[in-house]
Structure 1
Amino acid sequence: MIADQDRTAEGRLLVVGSVNVDLVLAVPRHPEPGETLAGTGSRRSPGGKGANQACAAARLGGDVRFAGRTGADADLALDLLRRAGTDLSATTQVPGSETGLAVVTVDDVGENNIVIIPGANGSWTAQDVHGLRSAVEDSDLVVSQGEIPAAAVDQLAQLSTEAGTRFLLNLAPVIDVDETTLAAADPLVVNESEGRLALTALAGTTAPEDDAATVRLLREAGVRSVVMTRGARGALVVADEEVTEIGSPAVRAVDTTGAGDAFVGALAVGLARGESAAQACRRAVRVGAYAVTRHGAQPSYPQQGDELPA
């Protein structure tokens, strides 16, 4: 069970990132290029990697402030964040913009493909992030992702470094952030393919096929700590010299959409509470496993009191 926690006793999280509406299309299988395929259903729900991670953390009892940018049509996109008790005072509406849109196709075995229209998420600038300085200074952990412009992420990493606030970067998708931003990440959270791309960008070398070797090389290239998510195989963590493998519970997946964000949100809560990366990952893989057994992104995330897979 997830024990009830007093929010005032929790580490303070600032999540800066994207907020979308997800248009989810159910399909028997993913279409081939040029193929027209009949779907079996559709629904709209809140999404966006930043909003997802903030929502996952808040539903677990985290003290979460979310900074996002939306259009005027943001009621659905922010609904579950509000219900989870997320502080949205740093989330702003961008005149003339639409809220970001993600078109997600989910097949019969739960695998997904996603196309994103950034909308207001693409309007973030370094100056916008500079306006969050006091929020960064007031936080114990700052979290961001790759669905806002690289200049904004770079500025956030710089502010976090100047404030002495720990910075978690989920480099998903992989964007062209500065090397100093990758070096500031503690941890850098990537999946297998993102980890290889990050290593190529940071070290200029082709990454090995072995995941453990990739995370070790990222650490040697200057990243403070690395967490690699590996779906049903769990995660790898390297904070010092040792690579720790964290297994994931075996579950029947119905929809993998947003499961990685559930993992990151849970990881962030644990780190903000002062847990080690390995300790936080052990809960995070269970939260991710819980999420894939339900449909949607934010609607699938556990709340305090929900029983997680063992």
Structure 2
Amino acid sequence: MTAPNSTGAGAGAGRILVVGSVNVDLALSVARHPEPGETLLGSGSRRSPGGKGANQACAASRLGGDVRFAARTGTGPDADLALSLLQDAGTDLSTTTEVPDVETGLAVVTVDEAGENSIVILAGANGTWSPEHVDALHVEVATSEIVVSQGEIPAPAIDQLARLSAETGTRFLLNLAPVIDVAEHTLTTADPLVVNESEGRLVLEAMTGATAAIDDTMTVHALRSAGIPSVVMTRGAHGVIVSHENATAEITSPTVTAVDSTGAGDAFVGALAVELAQGHGLDEACRHAARVGAFAVTRPGAQPSYPDRQDDLPALDHA
């Protein structure tokens, strides 16, 4: 397990640093997803804040977390829209930077009548992250309880963030979505690594070369055997598998009527970060995060769907 924060008594207690992407989401509503080469008529569109990093920071902030968000945006109205709900949630944006002459990231999200989505992302300013930009966050990393990142910024920046986290003894939560070619040290620093089923298999193939189809629990165990301290696999309505040094457990998800699954995984990660930063164990944190993720799918959009502390969360089916 990652060592506790070693920057001094009480340093970073409960504080979360999210380093990652920020986008504007253009969501298109369709009856079903088109086949290759097919043109479909949509039934509506909306623009809202998004990006996995921003979503996770917003979810954590709305749940009462002490959150700093380090991101890179373009300038102009898209940047204002992309950061608007983070500002409303009280997220500390002092480490978010405007990059001149670059567009803010854009995600085009297609949502069908069953609430399933497909997403195409243009990185924009998110693609300008470098190891040097991460080095500038050394103090913020050292004074945080937990650092969170995702696969929507360049791998060299994530690798440097993992190194800084290890050097400062700060817990590193990596949601490798999408799966990109990060260093093995980055994966073995992640505590936990959060992936869904397909991401877990891709990470395992990258680490070990294993390509055989295996079930989800076997995938999680193989990732742990490859040197990852703890693994959380999210499986939508099928629940969560969590594995760490003490045990492996399966956690059910609440039964809800899905409206839009966009950003639900990010709601889970944001809630997980808050629980871990406040000292809860990984199993307990995942149980709470599963309820937050289930709440998010009952509302449209990503950040607009996230609960506040006073919202009633759905109950686990077999808690």
In structure 1, give the amino acid aligned to 2:236.
G
| C-alpha distance in 1 between matches for 2:82 and 2:62 | 16
Alignment of 1:74-113 (within 5 A): 74-113=79-118
| C-alpha distance in 1 between matches for 2:210 and 2:45 | 42
Given that residues 13 and 144 in structure 2 are in contact (C-alpha distance below 8 angstroms), is that contact kept between their aligned partners in structure 1?
no
TM-score under structure 1 length normalisation: 0.96
| C-alpha distance in 2 between matches for 1:242 and 1:217 | 14
- Summarize deviations over 1:107-142 as a string: whole Å, max 9, x none: 000000000000000000000000000000000000
Given that residues 143 and 169 in structure 1 are in contact (C-alpha distance below 8 angstroms), is that contact kept between their aligned partners in structure 2?
yes
| C-alpha distance in 1 between matches for 2:31 and 2:211 | 36
Find the residue that maps to 1:21 and give its secondary structure: strand
Matched, 1:66 2:69: yes
Find the residue that maps to 2:256 and give its secondary structure: coil
Runs of 4+ in 1 over 6 A off after TM superposition: none
Given that residues 216 and 241 in structure 1 are in contact (C-alpha distance below 8 angstroms), is that contact kept between their aligned partners in structure 2?
no
Gaps of 5+ in 2: 1-11
Indicate which of 121, 126, 129 corresponds to 1:121.
Answer: 126
Name the count of aligned residue pairs.
Answer: 303
Gaps of 5+ in 1: 1-8
Matched, 1:275 2:280: yes
| C-alpha distance in 2 between matches for 1:60 and 1:241 | 27
Find the residue that maps to 1:286 and give its secondary structure: helix
Partner residue, 1:47: 50
Computed over aligned residues only, the root mean square deviation of the Cα atoms, in angstroms, reads 1.2
Find the residue that maps to 1:72 and give its secondary structure: coil
Q: CA deviation at 1:208?
A: 4.0
In structure 2, give the amino acid aligned to 1:301.
Y
| C-alpha distance in 2 between matches for 1:153 and 1:256 | 26
Find the residue that maps to 1:198 and give its secondary structure: helix
- Summarize deviations over 1:237-269 as a string: whole Å, max 9, x none: 001262100100000001000000000000010
| C-alpha distance in 1 between matches for 2:239 and 2:164 | 32
Q: CA deviation at 1:156?
A: 0.1
| C-alpha distance in 2 between matches for 1:246 and 1:168 | 19
Partner residue, 1:15: 18
Given that residues 21 and 77 in structure 1 are in contact (C-alpha distance below 8 angstroms), is that contact kept between their aligned partners in structure 2?
yes
Indicate which of 201, 205, 208 corresponds to 1:203.
Answer: 208
| C-alpha distance in 2 between matches for 1:144 and 1:52 | 11
Given that residues 199 and 207 in structure 1 are in contact (C-alpha distance below 8 angstroms), is that contact kept between their aligned partners in structure 2?
no
Alignment of 1:209-248 (within 5 A): 209-240=214-245, 242-248=247-253
Q: CA deviation at 1:209?
A: 2.4
| C-alpha distance in 1 between matches for 2:59 and 2:274 | 9
Partner residue, 2:60: 57
- Summarize deviations over 1:16-73 as a string: whole Å, max 9, x none: 0000000000000001111110000000000000000000000000000000000003
Q: Structure 1 vs Structure 2: percent identity of aligned residues?
A: 70
